């Protein structure tokens, strides 16, 4: 066997090792029910849940509660299985939050309530006005 | 409505698309035609490419005119700009949108294309075929044309009218409606780095095309080895500029965002970082080839991979596929299909061409010795690629999930919540290995080393490294194993390259580029290790009281509540909050909000007195000046041993359209560490403050009294004839009391007004002193005793909550970046000289 072949083998082994190590640590997108089960079995890894904000019949977002100092807030997220869950977020409401189409929360259950450590927003058009401000007419 | 400029711009886009295709075809014919017709085709091709470049310039100018002239009937101007945007940020608007950034990319490639036409005689035709094709693909992204019959929309034009872009009821009532103002530029992008970071980055993107084009041309024209010589200097510039662009982005994040760092391992960042790593690896394998004719195939693979990864990163960030995973990818413009074809076309063509020619590519059967310099460089290049591989896998999870779903697999892979920790855990070790490999390779490079003199050669550098390492860790108090190893590797890289630099410059300065660049990398590693690994929150709440029990524990622990003019202790400083400031546009300095009168236009305010900043008069009383009302700066003074050490102005932008407040830090820079301070919670001015019950005092002129524990004097009471610009009638009586209140630092004037209208209606206009938290009202006048009744309300004084982080040795990172860039420049100059000598 030539040295270059050994080198190639080492590289391939390293690449496979990287893939295994990566995926072993990867978090997954789950539903609230699965997340709850994971937490109750003592699995405290951070998981991702994708969902929509709860809206009333007129399309207005309902269920956002800001704390008195506006430094933290909670909202209601409906996951893919239509399960509603109140999510707590220990940071001020992110810009664009109410305009987002979909919300990804990263976190986990702590004593029956879902606490997000990070929120990702999917906005229909980020940084772009949806409706024109006609008041400036 | 200004239709002409938009139509002109759109015409130029179509022209640029068509001419790029013509140019590609004509250059193709230049190669595949007989000798007599060749020069004619070449001429045609050049004319076509010049026409293309002219059209691109036309598009750029048209779009800029639309933004600069505030033609808000155009969607691009409306959604990215506004009337109050300073001129330099209009430039940023240009590339805030996807179309504009494509345009920037096209523009740079056109410039480089013209440059290549004039410098590459032999390579012109095949290289320009590749260039023109890439230009055609990019131009198609902004084409904005619907192909009839199949109803296929090709590209998204920046010249689309607002009424066609947004479905708003106003347009059915009034089709010619033009908004008075645009919706403005994202406040975070109103930063000088955003003026220069995108052009640098896209110049880097554009430059990755050059080695790719040479490589493809080489394979195509069976010049399997010759392409390396012209490609190498371009790869060096490309890697230098791309690296600079990436680091500028990091520097922008450090200065503007408040996550306390410069690199977040966000997918959008990773997507450019990986091609950069591969590009660096390709430089190394090309250098190996130039020295001993090995690693040619690896060079070809890596050069192609660099460009393909750039296309892949474009696809990731612009197709919307990262939507769930990234905080700052572009808006999905429905271009994902087109982007995928762009990616697959060049990936497929390059791979097919390589496979077709593979057997013919000369390869050396020489076995590389472990003691050869080539071996160690090759190891380094491999490590760079593996490190990039580790980053690209989790970044690609959304793509992997999507591909999985085609096969019915529900993978649901997601990157871990804490990205920084996750990637760092792997990347620290790659950093260590790369540093060791490149430190060692440098010795092998300049000395003939074999088994016998290995120990002798490496002994001194190793010993010196150990001594420096011992010094660094004892001074830096490093105990974590991974950081210890990284520090050692970084120190070794620096020491070994200093030695090499010393030796090489004695022989020939032009050869020192590699050593300088590696020295820069070593410095960067040390800087990153300290600033990221040992960043320390210094704004610890040491009062023993919670700021608020509604707040999370961590917030209460890591943040300082500062009341105006009440000094606190922080990190060896006495820290004092001095109040809210505004920044006059175009003038260096800040103005207290107490010293300005508002006008009806929120962007214009009037100075109430002469304004001084750092002992220099910047404004005179009654001067009207422009501000950006979104921005408030919080003046914080740091004192050491009673002397002012620094004055910081962290910024908060209140932007209802963005849904809240955005805080940017101010950084107090020292050679050894930065003190990074940002506002974590400002006072909410919208809410009416809670005032205490009114207390009434009867005061005579010049009598001293106390308000909220401050000494106050009633100086005089005068009759006035107008209030805030409104003339009063003859029958009205208005008086203004002038009350002087002595604060901790300044004297303040409160001027409450007492008014009798039509002899019966009584009005009172109270006067507030924000800094002191007092409100004074002139309640009544008692002519019989010569006394005045004053009403006093007090409230909590103005406050701000700040967070401060100490970043040790972050300047070593920036220094290292500079050194790396110098290294790139020296190496590039040398390789261009080589190339010129040859041709």
Asked whether the whole model's pTM tops 0.90, one would answer: no
The beta-carbon neighbor of A48 closest among B162, B414, B418 is B414
pLDDT of B331 higher than 60: no
Rg, chain A, Cα only: 21
Interchain contact, B552 vs A104, CB within 8 Å: no
Q: Pick from B513, B434, B499: which is nearest to B462 by CA?
A: B499
A91-100, B355-364, B462-471, B824-833: least confident range: A91-100
Six-digit token string for B775: 């409100």
- Interface pTM (ipTM) of the complex? 0.74
Give the helix/strand (H/E) hosting B707. strand B704-707
* Cα(B10)–Cα(B55) distance, integer angstroms: 10
Task: Please report how the helices B419-446 and B451-476 are oriented relative to each other, as an axis angle in degrees rounded to 10.
Answer: 140
Residues of B in contact with A96 (CB under 8 A): 658-659
Query: What count of CB pairs under 8 Å joins A to B?
Result: 146
Given a contact cutoff of 8 angstroms between Cβ atoms, the answer to whether B517 and B380 are in contact is: no
Residues of A in contact with B323 (CB under 8 A): 102, 122
User: For residue B52, what pLDDT is reported?
Assistant: 97
* φ, ψ for residue B599, nearest 5 deg: -120, 180
Given a contact cutoff of 8 angstroms between Cβ atoms, the answer to whether B596 and B587 are in contact is: no
pLDDT level of residue B408 (50, 70, 90 thresholds): confident
- How far apart are the CA of B638 and the nearest CA of chain A, in angstroms? 26
- How far apart are the CA of A78 and the nearest CA of chain B, in angstroms? 16
Q: In this predicted model, what pLDDT tens digit does every residue of B37-73 receive, in sequence order? A: 999 999 999 999 999 999 999 999 999 999 999 999 9
Task: Give the three-state DSSP class for B369.
Answer: coil
Six-digit token string for B765: 């206009």
Q: Where are the domains of chain A?
A: 27-136
Q: Does residue B658 belong to the interface with chain A, where contact is any CB pair within 8 Å?
A: yes
**Domain boundaries A27-136, CATH class:** mainly beta
Q: Which ranges of B508-552 does DSSP label H, i.e. alpha helix?
A: 513-533
Q: In this predicted model, what pLDDT tens digit does every residue of B646-671 receive, in sequence order? A: 899 999 887 665 556 778 899 988 88
Q: In this predicted model, what pLDDT tens digit does every residue of B262-283 receive, in sequence order? A: 888 888 889 999 999 999 999 9
Rg, chain B, Cα only: 33
Task: Give the three-state DSSP class for B606.
Answer: strand
Distance of alpha carbon B518 from the chain centroid = 25
Q: Where are the domains of chain B?
A: 1-185, 208-361+372-415, 436-534+815-839, 553-684+801-808, 695-795
Sign of CA dihedral A71, A72, A77, A79: positive
Burial environment of residue B241 by CB neighbours within 10 A (0 to 12, 13 to 18, 19 or more): buried
Burial environment of residue B622 by CB neighbours within 10 A (0 to 12, 13 to 18, 19 or more): exposed
The number of beta carbons lying within 10 Å of the beta carbon of residue A20 is 10
Task: Please report how the helices B397-406 and B373-395 are oriented relative to each other, as an axis angle in degrees rounded to 10.
Answer: 60
Is B149 or B824 the better-scoring residue by pLDDT? B824
Average pLDDT, chain A: 76
Q: Which of residues 613-632 of B touch A (CB under 8 A)?
A: none
* φ, ψ for residue B689, nearest 5 deg: -70, 160
Q: Pick from A69, A121, A94: which is nearest to B663 by CA?
A: A94
Distances (CA, A) of B5 to B77, B94, B745: 13, 16, 57
Q: List the single best residue of A11, A90, A110, A129 to mutate versus B (max B Cβ within 10 A).
A: A129
* Cα(B660)–Cα(A94) distance, integer angstroms: 7
Given a contact cutoff of 8 angstroms between Cβ atoms, the answer to whether A32 and A83 are in contact is: yes
Largest CA distance in chain B: 114
- How far apart are the CA of A113 and the nearest CA of chain B, in angstroms? 15
- How far apart are the CA of B460 and the nearest CA of chain A, in angstroms? 30
The beta-carbon neighbor of A3 closest among B328, B367, B417 is B367
Q: Pick from A27, A33, A30: which is nearest to A45 by CA?
A: A27
Average pLDDT, chain B: 87
User: For residue A128, what pLDDT is reported?
Assistant: 40
Q: Does residue A62 belong to the interface with chain B, where contact is any CB pair within 8 Å?
A: no
User: For residue A136, what pLDDT is reported?
Assistant: 37
pLDDT level of residue B633 (50, 70, 90 thresholds): very high
Q: Pick from B556, B634, B549: which is nearest to B592 by CA?
A: B634
Interchain contact, A26 vs B415, CB within 8 Å: yes
User: For residue A48, what pLDDT is reported?
Assistant: 82
Q: In this predicted model, what pLDDT tens digit does every residue of B486-529 receive, in sequence order? A: 999 999 999 989 988 888 888 888 888 989 999 999 999 999 98
CA dihedral B273, B279, B281, B284 (to 10 degrees): -140
Strand partners, B251: none
Cβ neighbours of residue B369 under 8 Å, at least 6 residues apart?
B375
Q: Closest chain B residue to A15 measured between Cα atoms?
A: B386
Task: Please report how the helices B192-220 and B124-141 are oriented relative to each other, as an axis angle in degrees rounded to 10.
Answer: 130
What's the mean pLDDT in B173-187? 82
- How far apart are the CA of B178 and the nearest CA of chain A, in angstroms? 8
pLDDT of A129 higher than 50: no
């Amino acid at each position: 066997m030539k040295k270059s072949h050994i080198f190639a083998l080492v590289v391939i082994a390293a690449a496979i090792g990287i893939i295994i190590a990566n995926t072993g640590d990867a978090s997954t997108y789950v539903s609230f029910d699965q997340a709850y089960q994971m937490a109750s079995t003592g699995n405290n890894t951070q998981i991702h849940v994708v969902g929509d904000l709860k809206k009333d019949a007129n399309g207005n977002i309902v269920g956002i509660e800001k704390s008195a100092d506006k430094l933290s807030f909670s909202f209601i997220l409906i996951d893919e299985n239509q399960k509603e869950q109140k999510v707590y977020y220990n940071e001020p409401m992110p810009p664009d939050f109410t305009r987002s189409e979909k919300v990804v929360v990263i976190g986990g259950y702590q004593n029956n309530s879902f606490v997000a450590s990070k929120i990702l927003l999917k906005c229909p058009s980020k940084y772009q006005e949806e409706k024109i401000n006609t008041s400036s007419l | 409505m200004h239709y002409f400029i938009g139509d002109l711009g759109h015409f130029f886009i179509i022209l640029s698309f068509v001419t790029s295709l013509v140019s590609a075809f004509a250059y193709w014919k230049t190669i595949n035609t007989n000798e007599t017709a060749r020069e004619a085709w070449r001429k045609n091709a050049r004319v076509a490419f010049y026409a293309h470049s002219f059209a691109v310039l036309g598009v750029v100018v048209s779009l800029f005119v639309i933004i600069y002239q505030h033609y808000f009937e155009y969607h691009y101007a409306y959604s990215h700009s506004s009337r109050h945007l300073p001129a330099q940020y209009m430039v940023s608007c240009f590339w805030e949108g996807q179309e504009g950034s494509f345009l920037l990319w096209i523009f740079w490639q056109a410039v480089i294309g013209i440059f290549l036409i004039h410098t590459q005689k032999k390579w012109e035709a095949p290289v320009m075929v590749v260039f023109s094709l890439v230009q055609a693909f990019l131009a198609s992204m902004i084409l904005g044309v619907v192909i009839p019959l199949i109803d296929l929309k090709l590209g998204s034009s920046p010249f689309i009218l607002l009424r066609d872009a947004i479905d708003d009821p106003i347009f059915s009532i009034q089709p010619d409606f033009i908004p008075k103002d645009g919706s403005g530029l994202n406040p975070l992008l109103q930063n000088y780095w955003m003026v220069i970071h995108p052009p640098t980055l896209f110049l880097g993107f554009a430059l990755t095309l050059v080695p790719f084009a040479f490589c493809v041309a080489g394979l195509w024209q069976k010049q399997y080895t010759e392409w390396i010589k012209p490609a190498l200097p371009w790869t060096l510039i490309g890697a230098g500029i791309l690296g600079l662009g990436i680091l500028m982005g990091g520097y922008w994040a450090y200065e503007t965002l408040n996550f306390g760092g410069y690199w977040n391992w966000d997918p959008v960042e990773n997507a450019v970082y990986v091609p950069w790593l591969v590009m660096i690896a390709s430089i190394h394998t090309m250098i190996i080839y130039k020295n001993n004719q090995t690693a040619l195939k690896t060079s070809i693979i890596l050069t192609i991979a660099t460009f393909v990864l750039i296309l892949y990163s474009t696809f990731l960030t612009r197709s919307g596929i990262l939507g769930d995973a990234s905080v700052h990818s572009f808006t999905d413009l429905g271009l994902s299909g087109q982007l995928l074809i762009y990616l697959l076309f060049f990936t497929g063509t390059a791979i097919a061409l390589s496979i077709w020619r593979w057997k013919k590519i000369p390869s050396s059967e020489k076995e590389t010795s472990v003691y050869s310099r080539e071996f160690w460089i090759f190891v380094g290049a491999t490590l760079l690629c593996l490190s990039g591989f580790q980053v690209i896998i989790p970044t690609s999870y959304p793509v992997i999930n999507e591909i999985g779903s085609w096969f019915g697999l529900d993978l649901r892979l997601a990157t871990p919540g804490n990205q920084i920790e996750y990637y760092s855990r792997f990347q620290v070790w790659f950093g260590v290995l790369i540093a060791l490999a490149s430190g060692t390779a440098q010795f092998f490079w300049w000395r003939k080393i074999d088994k016998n003199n290995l120990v002798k050669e490496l002994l001194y550098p190793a010993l010196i490294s150990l001594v420096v390492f011992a010094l660094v860790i004892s001074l830096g108090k490093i105990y974590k194993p991974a950081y210890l190893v990284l520090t050692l590797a970084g120190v070794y890289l620096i020491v070994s390259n200093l030695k090499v630099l010393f030796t090489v410059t004695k022989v020939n300065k032009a050869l020192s580029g590699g050593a300088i660049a590696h020295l820069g990398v070593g410095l960067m590693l040390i800087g990153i290790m300290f600033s990221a690994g040992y960043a320390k929150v210094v704004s610890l709440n040491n009062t023993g009281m919670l700021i608020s029990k509604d707040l999370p524990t961590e917030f209460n622990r890591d943040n300082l509540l500062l009341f105006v003019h009440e000094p606190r202790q922080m990190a060896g400083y006495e820290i004092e909050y001095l109040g809210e400031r505004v920044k006059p546009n175009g003038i260096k300095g800040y103005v207290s909000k107490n010293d300005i009168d508002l006008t009806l236009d929120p962007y214009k305010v009037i100075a109430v007195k002469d304004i001084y900043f750092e002992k220099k008069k910047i404004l005179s009383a009654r001067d009207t000046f422009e501000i950006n009302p979104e921005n408030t700066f919080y003046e914080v003074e740091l004192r050491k041993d009673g002397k002012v050490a620094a004055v910081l102005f962290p910024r908060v932008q209140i932007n209802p359209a963005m849904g809240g407040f955005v805080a940017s830090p101010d950084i107090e820079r020292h050679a050894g560490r930065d003190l990074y301070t940002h506002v974590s919670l400002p006072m909410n001015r919208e809410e009416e403050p809670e005032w205490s019950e009114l207390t009434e005092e009867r005061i005579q002129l010049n009598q001293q009294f106390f308000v909220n524990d401050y000494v106050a004097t009633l100086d005089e009471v005068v009759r006035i004839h107008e209030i805030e610009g409104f003339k009063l009638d003859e029958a009205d009586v208005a008086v203004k009391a002038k009350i002087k209140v002595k604060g901790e630092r300044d004297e303040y004037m409160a001027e409450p007004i007492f008014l009798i209208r039509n002899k019966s209606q009584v009005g009172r206009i109270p006067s507030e002193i924000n800094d002191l938290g007092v409100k004074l009202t002139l309640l009544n006048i008692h002519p019989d005793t010569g006394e005045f009744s004053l009403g006093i309300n007090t409230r909590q004084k103005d406050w701000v909550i700040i967070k401060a982080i100490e970043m040790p040795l972050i300047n070593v990172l920036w220094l290292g970046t500079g050194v790396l860039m110098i290294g790139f420049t020296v190496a590039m100059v040398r390789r261009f000289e080589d190339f010129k000598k040859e041709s």
